Amino acid sequence: MQMRGGSSKGAYFLAADLPADPAERDDLLLRIMGSPDERQIDGLGGGHPLTSKVAVVGPSESPGADVDYLFLQVVPDRPIVTDAQTCGNLLAGVGPFAIERGLVAPAGETTTVRIRIMNPTVSLAEATVRTPAGQVQYDGDTVMAGTPFPAAPIDLAFPGGDAPLFPTGQVVDFFAGVEATAVDAGMPVVLVRAGDLGLAGDEEPAVLEADEALRAKVEALRVEAGRKMGLGDVRDTTVPKVSIISAPRHGGTVTTRTFIPHRVHAAIGVLGAVSVAAALRARGEANNRLVRVEHPSGFFDAYVQLEGVGPKARLVRSTVVRTARKLSDGLVWPRTGKATG
């Protein structure tokens, strides 16, 4: 099934329909999505990280979850499939997909699907899906920045955990000579002030992507941050993200431009926004639980509850509202041969 989840788009599969061996699975997904090819012209991918995503969903053996969700990022122009991070945008489609595939039975006007996220950074989430008359409702009036059309709301809630909000043990670090904050509230993110990179902070994504010196600087601090955050060598991974922050322009809490990690997001990821919001609250720069994160195509509201302040702060719970829509449902014909051949 192809779905738009949040401000991303991806292919959703039942786990039982894919090879159990990770190497065989990844090779198949490269051929299905059309990688390696920057256009992905021979597959389902859209030639951009935001449209080259896969969700693998199956029944969960955990008593606290209904389904397991594994997110896989298929790199468009390289033969790489990575599970190093999760995706909160594609997560918005997991609840509807689970109900459509019969993994979870509709429970009334709304159905809550308990999801165990199998990627390293988040353990559990709850998605509340509108299911009037026992059917997933996709049409609605909720307009979400980063998508052009309204749809039915899907409420996503993330419980906190015992993991530290600041993996380095400090609120402020220096990476590649730049002051930054390394945070993980579901997505490893490095916050850097725009002025420290010689930026205004409201540049268009294409302008930032075209600045080779900036991209090299961002990558250098990202690689150093990754090591200090305990992520190892991150040169070939998609985490941490780097969010460039500056003063709000439209009444929000902060303006962001986010490298994901080499392209610049047209909006901001769900858990990336939660991490930004949590860092601002722990740093004392956001006094309310509702943090409005401005991004290139609008804003993202994240409700964040913390316990404690400063380097000992811990995430208790976060909630967001997303939308999703089923685009197509059927068979896909992967190209033959090996993806790396």
Q: Tell me the pLDDT tens digit for each residue of 271-329.
A: 999 999 999 999 999 988 999 999 999 999 999 999 988 898 999 999 999 999 999 99
Looking at the fold, whether 48 and 113 belong to one and the same domain comes out as yes
Which structure tokens are listed for 55? 């969700």
Looking at the fold, whether 7 and 140 belong to one and the same domain comes out as yes
Looking at the fold, whether 82 and 231 belong to one and the same domain comes out as no
Looking at the fold, whether 260 and 198 belong to one and the same domain comes out as yes
Looking at the fold, whether 104 and 26 belong to one and the same domain comes out as yes
Give the pLDDT confidence of 99-133 residue by residue, as tens digits: 999 999 999 999 999 999 999 765 899 999 999 99
Looking at the fold, whether 71 and 109 belong to one and the same domain comes out as yes
Residue 30 included in any domain: yes
Residue 260 included in any domain: yes
313 secondary structure, DSSP code: -
Residue 336 included in any domain: no
Residue 265: Cβ within 10 Å count: 23
Helix, strand, coil: what percent of the chain each, to 5? 25, 35, 45
Angle formed by the axes of helices 270-282 and 88-100, nearest 10°: 130
- In angstroms, the CA 248 to CA 253 distance is 6
Which has the closest alpha carbon to 17: 52, 60, 55?
55
Q: What is the mean pLDDT of residues 165-192?
A: 96
Residue 138 included in any domain: yes
Give the pLDDT confidence of 249-281 residue by residue, as tens digits: 999 999 999 999 999 999 999 999 999 999 999
Looking at the fold, whether 183 and 302 belong to one and the same domain comes out as yes
Residue 283 included in any domain: yes
- In angstroms, the CA 278 to CA 269 distance is 14
Cβ atoms 238, 24 nearer than 8 A: no
Which has the closest alpha carbon to 243: 251, 232, 233, 253?
253
For residue 232, the model assigns a pLDDT of 95
Which has the closest alpha carbon to 55: 68, 44, 43, 45?
68
> Considering Cα of 102, then 95, then 61, then 54, what sign does the dihedral take?
positive
Give the pLDDT confidence of 44-92 residue by residue, as tens digits: 999 999 999 999 999 999 999 999 999 999 999 999 999 988 998 999 9
Number of folded domains that form the chain: 2
Looking at the fold, whether 233 and 118 belong to one and the same domain comes out as no
Residue 35 included in any domain: yes
Looking at the fold, whether 106 and 219 belong to one and the same domain comes out as no
Q: What is the mean pLDDT of residues 192-220?
A: 97
Residue 168 included in any domain: no
Does the N-terminal peptide bond of residue 36 adopt cis geometry, omega within 30 degrees of 0? yes
- In angstroms, the CA 86 to CA 187 distance is 7
Looking at the fold, whether 108 and 218 belong to one and the same domain comes out as no
Domain housing 22: 2-162+324-328
The CATH code of the domain that includes 127 is 3.10.310.10
For residue 309, the model assigns a pLDDT of 81
Residue 211: Cβ within 10 Å count: 16
Cβ atoms 154, 5 nearer than 8 A: no
Question: What is the three-state SS of 240-305?
Answer: CEEEEEECCCCCCCEEEEEECCCCECCCCCHHHHHHHHHHHHHCCCCCCCEEEEEECCEEEEEEEE
Residue 251 included in any domain: yes
Q: What is the mean pLDDT of residues 182-210?
A: 96
Looking at the fold, whether 223 and 282 belong to one and the same domain comes out as yes
For residue 130, the model assigns a pLDDT of 98
Looking at the fold, whether 198 and 149 belong to one and the same domain comes out as no
- In angstroms, the CA 131 to CA 318 distance is 23
